[in-house]
């Protein structure tokens, strides 16, 4: 009888201790994680407001994540929650496998962000040996999803709305985030609404396993209302759009060198209001494109299209030997088919080699 009572007490104490550990563990993880995130970089810091852990179900959630640039103390990333689900089946076979879900992430681009990222990367020592160890890692992320998110900035107030939103209703997925020699490619896709008008769709592949990251990307922007650019254009060039709808198809790739690709814009029902002032100082490629559109006269419901092959190596170069504005103006006399051509890709370029 005494032995049974002793065993029962040991069992109850064990349950109690495990319960206390379960209650205390999220707070311990939160404090340790925030201490690390405060000091892991000379230019960037982050903070987590809450940690939830469902150990038996293999589910772990970080809530209220905020990342700031230290010098300005301005946030560049605010995330409602990040959930990681652990596969016990893979864990028992010696592999740590976790799908990750990021909910309501607001990515905020500011002038301080790029210098802060460069300062952070300059302090990170990524040697060849470290890369090789990462390639052999037992930790795998088969899928990372981003849902109900947005991208915003305060740099172009005349281009964005009052809240600075560039891209909203953003949903994205990347699979095979940590590649291996057996499975090197990481496909990704995203979709959203750009500048409150226009449906954006992006698909592509990354080869992060290579010594130099390689990537290819296809992009579609459909039903973009060109009059939404008017407030921004008034500050840059002497023209505005009274009407016009843009569909844009593009492909691009890079294999550690220049970016090569093409743009294929389809413009419908374009009507431009120009001032007598000349287009001076329009060297920037975006303004050159707008200026070229200002030289095109279209009838109602008329659709015109062109294809612009390009190379980007610190500067944008049109592969026709002309300036962007001339290439667009001349190209609008050519007939084009809608959609992505699938003429640019990593597999194709590797075969050509």
Query: Is the distance from CB of 239 to CB of 227 less than 8 angstroms?
Result: no
Q: Among residues 165, 195, 225, which one ends one of the domains?
A: 195
Confidence at residue 302, expressed as pLDDT on a 0 to 100 scale: 82
Q: Among residues 142, 164, 195, which one ends one of the domains?
A: 195
Q: In total, how many domains does the chain have? A: 2
CA nearest 98: which of 109, 86, 88? 86
CB atoms within 10 A of CB 215: 19
How many helices (H) and strands (E) in the chain? 8, 15
Confidence at residue 225, expressed as pLDDT on a 0 to 100 scale: 94
Confidence at residue 224, expressed as pLDDT on a 0 to 100 scale: 95
Is the domain of 165 the same as that of 278?
A: no
Residue 269: which domain range?
212-353
Q: Is residue 15 part of a domain?
A: no
Confidence at residue 261, expressed as pLDDT on a 0 to 100 scale: 92
Q: Is residue 9 part of a domain?
A: no
Burial 131-168 (b: 16+ CB within 10 A, else e): eeeeeeeeebbeebebeebbbbbeeeeebbeeebbbbb
Question: Which pair of structure tokens corresponds to residue 307?
Answer: 């294809």
Question: Which pair of structure tokens corresponds to residue 130?
Answer: 């470290």
pTM of the model as a whole = 0.79
Give the start-end residues of each E strand in 154-258: 165-175, 185-194, 199-207, 214-225, 239-255
Helix ranges (DSSP H) in the chain: 2-39, 88-92, 113-122, 128-135, 230-233, 285-293, 324-331, 346-352
Query: Is the distance from CB of 305 to CB of 333 less than 8 angstroms?
Result: no
Is the domain of 163 the same as that of 228?
A: no
Query: Is the distance from CB of 195 to CB of 170 less than 8 angstroms?
Result: no
CB atoms within 10 A of CB 51: 20
Is the domain of 113 the same as that of 156?
A: yes
Q: Is residue 130 part of a domain?
A: yes
Is the domain of 219 the same as that of 341?
A: yes
Phi, psi of 58 (to 5 degrees): 70, 35
Q: Among residues 144, 169, 195, which one ends one of the domains?
A: 195
HSE toward the beta carbon, residue 19, CA cutoff 13 A: 6
Instruction: Check residue 279 and report its DSSP letter.
Output: -
Q: Is residue 205 part of a domain?
A: no
Is the domain of 123 the same as that of 69?
A: yes
How high is the mean pLDDT in each 10-residue block of the chain (353 residues)?
A: 62 61 73 90 92 80 94 91 82 77 94 87 56 60 94 84 87 88 88 93 88 88 92 82 92 90 89 69 68 74 85 82 68 76 65 38
């Amino acid at each position: 009888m005494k032995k049974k009572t002793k065993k029962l007490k040991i069992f109850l104490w064990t349950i109690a201790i495990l319960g206390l550990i379960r209650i205390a563990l999220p707070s311990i993880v939160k404090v340790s994680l925030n201490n690390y995130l405060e000091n892991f970089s000379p230019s960037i810091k982050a903070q987590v407001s809450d940690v939830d852990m469902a150990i038996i179900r293999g589910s772990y959630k970080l809530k209220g994540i905020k990342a700031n640039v230290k010098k300005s103390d301005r946030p560049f990333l605010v995330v409602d929650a990040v959930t990681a689900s652990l596969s016990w089946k893979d864990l028992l076979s010696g592999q740590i496998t976790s799908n990750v879900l990021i909910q309501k992430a607001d990515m905020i681009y500011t002038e301080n962000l790029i210098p802060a990222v460069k300062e952070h990367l300059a302090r990170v020592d990524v040697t060849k040996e470290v890369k090789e160890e990462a390639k052999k890692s037992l930790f795998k992320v088969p899928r990372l999803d981003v849902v109900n998110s947005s991208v915003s900035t305060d740099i172009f107030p005349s281009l964005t709305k009052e809240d600075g939103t560039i891209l909203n209703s953003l949903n994205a997925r990347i699979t095979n985030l940590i590649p291996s020699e057996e499975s090197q490619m990481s496909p990704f896709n995203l979709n959203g609404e750009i500048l409150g008008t226009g449906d954006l769709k992006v698909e592509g592949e990354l080869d992060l396993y290579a010594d130099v990251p390689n990537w290819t990307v296809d992009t579609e922007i459909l039903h973009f209302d060109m009059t939404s650019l008017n407030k921004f254009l008034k500050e840059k060039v002497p023209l505005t759009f009274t009407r016009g709808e843009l569909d844009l198809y593009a492909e691009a790739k890079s294999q550690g060198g220049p970016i090569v690709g093409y743009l294929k814009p389809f413009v419908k029902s374009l009507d431009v209001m120009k001032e007598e002032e000349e287009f001076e100082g329009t060297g920037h490629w975006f303004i050159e494109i707008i200026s070229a559109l200002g030289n095109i006269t279209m009838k109602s419901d008329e659709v015109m299209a062109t294809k612009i092959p390009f190379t980007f190596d610190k500067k944008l170069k049109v592969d026709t030997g002309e300036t962007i504005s001339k290439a667009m103006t001349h190209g609008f006399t050519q007939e084009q088919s809608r959609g992505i051509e699938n003429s640019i890709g990593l597999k194709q370029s590797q075969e050509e080699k």
